Amino acid sequence: MSTATPRIDWTRRHMPLLAGIRERFVETKPFDGMTIGFRIHLEPKTAVLVETLLAGGADILAIGNQGTTQFDTVEHLIDAGAVIIEKPGESKDDIRANLATIAAAKPEIVLDNGAELIVRCLEEDNHPIGATEETTSGAILLREQYQERIPFPVIVINDSPLKAIVENKHGVGESTLDEIVRTTNVMLHRKRFVMFGYGWCGRGIAMYARDRGADVTVVEIDPIKALEAAMDGFSTDTAESAAQYGQVFVTATGRGNVIPYELIEAMPDGAILANAGHVDTEIDIPTLHERAGRIESTTSVTRHDLPSGRSVFVLSDGQMVNLAVEGGRGNSIEIMDLGFMLQAMSLERIATGAADLVPGPQPVPADINDSIAVAMLASFD
C-alpha cells in the first residue's frame, strides 16, 4: 500500500459527487475500450477522479503538471491500474517527451490542464474524439491560436458558471484567507484590507476577508464591477489612494503588474502583500527584489526593505498564495469534488456522444451544470 493511500481514503470520503457517479460508471462503463490521455496535477483529489474513470472502464495514461506531482499518489494510482509515465525530477525536455509519448499513443479522449497535450495531439494529427480543458489560460490558447484547426470538441471546464461560483468565489475566497492567516499568524480584525480585482475570485476573497473582521476596500478597473463592489457594501478606491492606507493587499486579476513597484513604495511600513491570481507577475516582485532586497522573515513570508526605510512583507514571492505557501493545499476537497464532477460528466458526454457536440472549445453543456447543482445541493442534506 502506498503511503498516500490513507490520505486518498480521507479525500474520497469527502467527495460525495464523484462517489455517486462512480456507482453509475461501474454499471454503465462509458469508457470501455478507451484510453484517456490525462494531464493534470497528480495529488489525492485528482487521484479520486482517476479512480472514478478507471471504474468506468477507462485506461488511463497520465502525467502531472510540472512541479506539483505527489509521487506517493502516483504509486497509489499505479496500484489502482493507471499508467503514469512521469518520474521525479523531470526537466522541461522530459515533460515535452512525455507529452509526445501520450499523443503518440492516440488516446481516444484527452483531459488537459493548460492545453499542452491537446496542442501536441493537434500538431501530430493524432486527434482524439474529444477533450476537456480545465483552465481559462488553456482555453485562451486554443481559442486564439488553434480555433480553426480543432476538428474535435473541447469542453472548457472553467467556462462553467458552477465552477465560477463554487470554486473561484467560495473555494479561492476561503482558501486564500485561510492560508494568509495561517502563514502570517496575524489577526485580520480591523485590518485595512485592499482587494485588487472584483471578478469571481476577488468577490470571494473580499467576502471572506470581511467575514474575518477586516475593513475591505476594493480596487477594480471595470466600473460595473466597482459599482457591484460598492452595492455589496465594500469601500472602493483607486490603487494610488488605497496604497496610502492599506495594511494587507491581495491581487486576483489574472493580469501582470497590477501592483507595480512605485505603488509598493507608497505603502505603509509593515504592509503585507499576496497574490491569488494564476500568474505570479501581478505584484512586481523582480523590481522589489532588485531595489529592496529579500530576507526570509518566516516560512513563506519575505521582508523587503525599501529605500524609504519602510519594509513590506510578501507571501510566497507573489505566487498563488492558497497553493504556493508551504503546506498550502488549495481549495477544500468538497469544492474540488464539484470541479472534478464537471470533468467526469463532460468526459462521459464525449465518450457517449462526441458526434453530437460541435468541434472546438465550448462550455460545459447546460444539462450537466444543472444536474451537478442538484447533486451538490442534495449532498448538503
Ligand X SMILES: NC(=O)c1ccc[n+]([C@@H]2O[C@H](COP(=O)([O-])OP(=O)(O)OC[C@H]3O[C@@H](n4cnc5c(N)ncnc54)[C@H](O)[C@@H]3O)[C@@H](O)[C@H]2O)c1
Return residues touching ligand X (CB under 6 A). 136, 168, 172, 196-202, 219-222, 225, 252-255, 258, 276-278, 320, 322-323, 330
Least Å distance, CB 351 to ligand X, is 27
The one-letter amino acid at 373: A
What strand order describes the sheet that includes 360-363?
A: 83-84, 59-63, 35-39, 109-112, 130-133, 153-156, 360-363
Closest to ligand X by CB, 47 vs 325, is 325
Pairing verdict, β 311-315 and 301-305? antiparallel
Least Å distance, CB 280 to ligand X, is 10
Closest to ligand X by CB, 61 vs 139, is 139
Distances (CA, A) of 241 to 221, 246, 307, 370: 14, 9, 21, 43
Closest to ligand X by CB, 98 vs 160, is 160
Distances (CA, A) of 275 to 90, 228, 294, 327: 27, 22, 17, 16
Distances (CA, A) of 55 to 23, 136, 242, 247: 8, 28, 52, 50
Q: Closest residue to ligand X, Cβ-based?
A: 199
Closest to ligand X by CB, 128 vs 318, is 318
Residues in a beta bridge with 194: 217, 249
Least Å distance, CB 37 to ligand X, is 23
Least Å distance, CB 354 to ligand X, is 27
How many CA atoms lie within 13 Å of 311's alpha carbon, on the beta-carbon side?
13
By 3-state DSSP, what share of the chain in percent is helix, strand and coil, each rounded to 5?
50, 15, 35
Closest to ligand X by CB, 252 vs 364, is 252
Closest to ligand X by CB, 122 vs 156, is 156
SS (H, E, C) 123-154: HCCCCCCEEEECCHHHHHHHHHHCHHHCCCEE
d(CA 208, CA 256): 24
What ranges in 15-160 are assigned the alpha helix state H? 16-28, 44-55, 71-80, 92-104, 116-123, 136-145
Closest to ligand X by CB, 102 vs 342, is 342
Closest to ligand X by CB, 103 vs 258, is 258
Least Å distance, CB 275 to ligand X, is 8
Q: Which three cell numbers stand for residue 345?
A: 460528466
Least Å distance, CB 330 to ligand X, is 6
Closest to ligand X by CB, 252 vs 264, is 252
Q: Which three cell numbers stand for residue 79?
A: 496500484
Least Å distance, CB 44 to ligand X, is 16
Least Å distance, CB 327 to ligand X, is 15
d(CA 296, CA 119): 39
Least Å distance, CB 24 to ligand X, is 28
